Amino acid sequence: MNRFARLIDGLVFTPSRNGKVRLLQDWFATVPDPDRGWALAALTDGLSFAGAKPGVIRTLVLDRVDPVLFGWSYDYVGDLAETVSLIWPARPGPNAPPTLSDVVDALRAAGRSPRVPAMIAGWLDALEPSGRYALIKLITGAMRVGMSARLTKTALAEWGGRSVDEVEEVWHALEPPYADLFAWLEGRGPRPAADGRAGFRPPMLAHPLEDADIAALDPTAYRAEWKWDGIRVQVAAAAGEARLYSRTGDDIGGAFPEVVERVAFEAVLDGELLVVHDGRVAPFNDLQQRLNRKRPTAKQLREFPAQVRLYDILFDGADDIRPLPFDARRARLEAWFDRVRPAGMDLSPLVPFAGWDALAALRAGARDGAIEGLMLKRADSAYVAGRPKGPWFKWKRGPLTVDCVLMYAQRGHGKRSSFYSDYTFGTWRGDELVPVGKAYFGFTDEELARIDRWVRNNTTNRFGPVREVSPGLVFEVAFDSVHRSPRHKSGVAMRFPRIGRIRWDKPAGEADRLETLERMIVA
């Protein structure tokens, strides 16, 4: 576990991508099976143990640490595994630190046994903070150590002299600790079989389109679709197996069982995962509730039901139709949809348009919060992995903006906990400021540091982690829409406010008035 902890620390602290890749390749080359494979699993799909969940860790630490102090510490550090690793009371004793395989074997054998918490506590006692961090990350199945699954696979493929797409094609047929995969990459064994499995096909991605660039495109060569504010997914079903993948190939089926369970066909489909209530797409926030969990609760399934809105088809049965042009694939998608009538799915409609001006008007008129803008896809484009320049564009709707004055600043969480990075801002009503929204900072570290300094130098009052500041700093705040809200003192609430620009140049007195915001309210 100590060697694995050194790998994790290295991946966390090494700033360069190449440095991280070298560390991983060194791990694959020098650590024997099965430990190297357990680490690979931890860094890609994640390992899952029935009896070791974040709740167990939390219970263990709360038995040992004052819950109030733990709460403040967690709030400050922002990550459960790290908080526990740091706050766990050291208990020097005769315990030898476990190896990676010790931990995996013991947890697999134990299943849901009531002994699991005591086993974990014993390991935490025997390890130092780095080892505790690695252990908790490993067993709770969420490494997130600045190394994506994709980059891990890239490092692995490069080390084995293969392309990452070759690894990707066989990946989903493999099980940790991947002895057959390592054997193949080291030239000691055959290529593992991938055929017939519901594997991930790298998706086709779009380039952003600026308003100014559209004139250069031929409107008759493109088809338009709404761009939905959900997450891009791939539904892959073959050989009686169904999987739901994120854009990067992470299997997220566990978080959305209702989608996977309703699959009764064989195809690979491209679409948008959305939370939908009575035919209306819910705000992205609702989807976020689901994304944050490995498995949903029954209540979440009820309150935030997910579905897939389809816009492309890659495989119809075993038939690979990616080489067909967009129009032909669209016809196949519609025919397939009519034939199969898949539960929990609908079709994203094509948006007919007469020319760019007409399309721009449609885009500007779309006030549905679930529409982020438009997708433009060339009628003759084949489905190609990656982000080719030209065939697909995303044309986002410009947000509404208003100039607001910073009123309160709060220390952020986790990596932002040293900075005042959460802001409450207001607009003028008469000569008083009324708060209209709250947003996190979304800019570069230098800008964040500059705002932070400004906050510290213009503080008029402090309440715990919050500072009240004198009116003097103007933010251009972008938002999707604004609604009446009796719950807010200002009577209005913004949807998805984010700080667009910092207006160092603008005097606070010239920021917008509440009436401006009220005029933007959607009935």
Partner 1 sequence: MQTAFESWIHPAPPSEGGGLRVVPGGFHIDPIRPVDRAVITHGHADHARPGNASVLATPETLAIMRERYGAAAGATLQPSPYGETLRIGDVTVRLVPAGHVLGSAQVVIEHRGQRVVVSGDYKRRADPTCAPFEVVPCDLFVSEATFGLPVFRHPPADREVARLLDSVRLFPDRAQLVGVYALGKCQRVIRLLREAGWDAPIFLHGALGGLCGLYERLGVPLGPLVPATGLPRDAFKGQIVLAPPSATADRWARRLPDPVVGAASGWMRVRQRARQRGVELPMIVSDHADWDELIDTVRDVGCGTLWVTHGREEALCHVAAGMGIEARALALVGFDEEGQGETADDPGAGDAA
Catalytic (active-site) positions: 227
The span from the CA of 225 to the CA of 392, in Å, is 11
Instruction: Tell me which residues in 90-119 interact with partner 1 (CB under 8 A).
Output: 90
**Stretch binding partner 1 (CB under 8 A), from 86-94, 179-187, 290-298, 510-518:** 86-94
Do residues 179 and 37 lie in contact, with contact meaning Cβ atoms separated by under 8 Å? yes
Nearer to partner 1, 138 or 198 (CB): 138
The span from the CA of 5 to the CA of 128, in Å, is 10
| 2 near partner 1, judged by CB under 8 A | no
Strand 345-347 to strand 306-316: parallel, antiparallel, or no bridges (unpaired)?
parallel
| 169 near partner 1, judged by CB under 8 A | no
Structure tokens of 160?
Answer: 């084995």
Count CB atoms within 10 A of the CB of residue 523: 5
Whole-Å CA distances, 303 to 275, 284, 300, 393: 9, 14, 5, 33
E-strand ranges in 49-157 read none
Smallest gap from residue 417 Cβ to partner 1 (A)? 8
Instruction: Tell me which residues in 464-493 interact with partner 1 (CB under 8 A).
Output: 464
Q: Select the residue interacting with partner 1 from 24, 52, 57, 87 (CB under 8 A).
A: 87
**Stretch binding partner 1 (CB under 8 A), from 62-70, 221-229, 250-258, 330-338:** 62-70
R_g over Cα of the chain: 26
End-to-end CA distance of the chain: 59
What are the residues facing 310 on neighbouring strands? 271, 347
**Stretch binding partner 1 (CB under 8 A), from 71-79, 205-213, 399-407, 470-478:** 71-79
Backbone angles phi, psi at 281, to 5 degrees: -75, 130
Q: Select the residue interacting with partner 1 from 31, 56, 60, 65 (CB under 8 A).
A: 65
What are the residues facing 459 on neighbouring strands? 469
Instruction: Tell me which residues in 406-465 interact with partner 1 (CB under 8 A).
Output: 414-418, 445, 449, 453, 456-457, 459, 462, 464
Q: Select the residue interacting with partner 1 from 29, 62, 69, 522 (CB under 8 A).
A: 69
| 82 near partner 1, judged by CB under 8 A | yes
Q: Select the residue interacting with partner 1 from 72, 175, 195, 357 (CB under 8 A).
A: 72
The span from the CA of 263 to the CA of 163, in Å, is 31
**Stretch binding partner 1 (CB under 8 A), from 82-90, 100-108, 297-305, 499-507:** 82-90
**Stretch binding partner 1 (CB under 8 A), from 65-73, 134-142, 154-162, 314-322:** 65-73
Q: Kindly tell me the burial class for residue 142, based on how many C-beta atoms sit within 10 Å of its own C-beta (0-12, 13-18, 19 or more).
A: middle
| 504 near partner 1, judged by CB under 8 A | no
Half-sphere exposure of 312 (CA within 13 A, CB side): 30
Nearer to partner 1, 69 or 335 (CB): 69
Residues near partner 1, by CB under 8 A: 12-15, 65-66, 68-70, 72-73, 76-79, 82-83, 86-87, 90, 129, 133, 146, 414-418, 445, 449, 453, 456-457, 459, 462, 464
